[in-house]
């Protein structure tokens, strides 16, 4: 009887291991992470303006999304047919005695993939005539996308905002 219990336990463990990967959402614990927010003594409006100037100064294309939200994007050529886009999303929130700047960055990599399609219609035994069609197209394909986790990246951004506030 113990043997059957052991076998059933092993089978259930194997089935659990083969059930596929867990989702990333299951791992989220929503802990405070200092790399994604920084408190400033200034109110939200000048902090958001300083963040916008930091992005513009570094070559980002900045889009004002809402009252105190902005996003900036910058492209990098990796190889002839490959490029990356670094996107920075910032939100300024008012708090007692100042404001908080929330920042998240993502990096996406793209490649050009060629797709070929060929079609041929004909009846070689009945008629020597056949119709064929070939087409080739280049498509941009996203090959990687992830949130930037480098603390130094965020610290450099916050230092830039602090410098802009001092001007």
CATH code, domain carrying 45 = 3.30.530.50
| Structural domain includes residue 56 | yes
Query: What band does 36 get if pLDDT is binned at 50, 70 and 90?
Result: very high
Asked if 118 contacts 133 with a C-beta cutoff of 8 angstroms, the reply is yes
Percent of the chain with pLDDT over 90: 51
pLDDT tops 90 at residue 132 = no
Instruction: Examine residue 61 and state whether it is found in any structural domain, yes or no.
Output: yes
Is 68 within the bounds of a domain? Answer: yes
CA distances from 164 to 10, 96, 99 (A): 61, 22, 15
pLDDT at 76 over 70: yes
Examine residue 62 and state whether it is found in any structural domain, yes or no.
yes
Is 37 buried (19+), middle (13-18) or exposed (0-12) by CB count in 10 A? middle
Report which of residues 26 and 51 the model is more confident about: 51
Q: Is the pTM of this model over 0.75?
A: no
Q: Is residue 123 part of a domain?
A: no
Whole-number percent of the chain with pLDDT over 70: 81
| pLDDT over 90 (residue 81) | no
- The two most distant CA atoms of the chain are separated, in Å, by 88
Domain membership of residue 51 (yes or no) is yes
- Structural domain of 50: 34-75+84-107+145-166
Model confidence at 19: pLDDT above 70: no
**Cα 45 to Cα 23: distance, rounded to the nearest angstrom:** 37
Mean pLDDT value of segment 18-47 = 81
Residue 159 lies in a domain: yes
Domains: count for the chain = 1
Tokens of 9: 């336990």
Which of 65-74, 100-109, 132-141 bottoms out in mean pLDDT, i.e. has the lowest?
132-141
Q: Kindly indicate the confidence band of residue 112, based on its pLDDT and cuts at 50, 70 and 90.
A: confident
Q: Which residue has the higher pLDDT, 6 or 160?
A: 160
Q: Say if 26 falls within a structural domain.
A: no
């Amino acid at each position: 009887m113990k043997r059957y219990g052991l076998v059933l336990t092993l089978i259930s463990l194997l089935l659990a291991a083969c059930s596929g990967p867990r989702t990333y959402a299951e791992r989220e614990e929503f802990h405070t992470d200092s790399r994604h927010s920084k408190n400033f003594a200034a109110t939200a409006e000048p902090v958001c303006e300083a963040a916008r100037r930091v992005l513009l100064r570094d070559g980002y294309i900045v889009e004002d999304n809402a009252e105190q939200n902005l996003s900036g994007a910058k492209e990098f050529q990796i190889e002839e047919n490959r490029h990356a886009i670094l996107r920075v999303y910032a939100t300024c929130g008012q708090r007692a005695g100042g404001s908080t700047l929330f920042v998240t960055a993502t990096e996406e990599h793209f490649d050009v993939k060629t797709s070929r399609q060929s079609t041929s219609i004909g009846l070689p035994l009945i008629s020597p005539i056949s119709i064929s069609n070939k087409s080739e197209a280049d498509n941009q394909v996203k090959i990687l996308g992830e949130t930037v986790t480098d603390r130094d990246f965020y610290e450099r951004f916050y230092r830039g905002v602090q410098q802009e506030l001092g001007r």
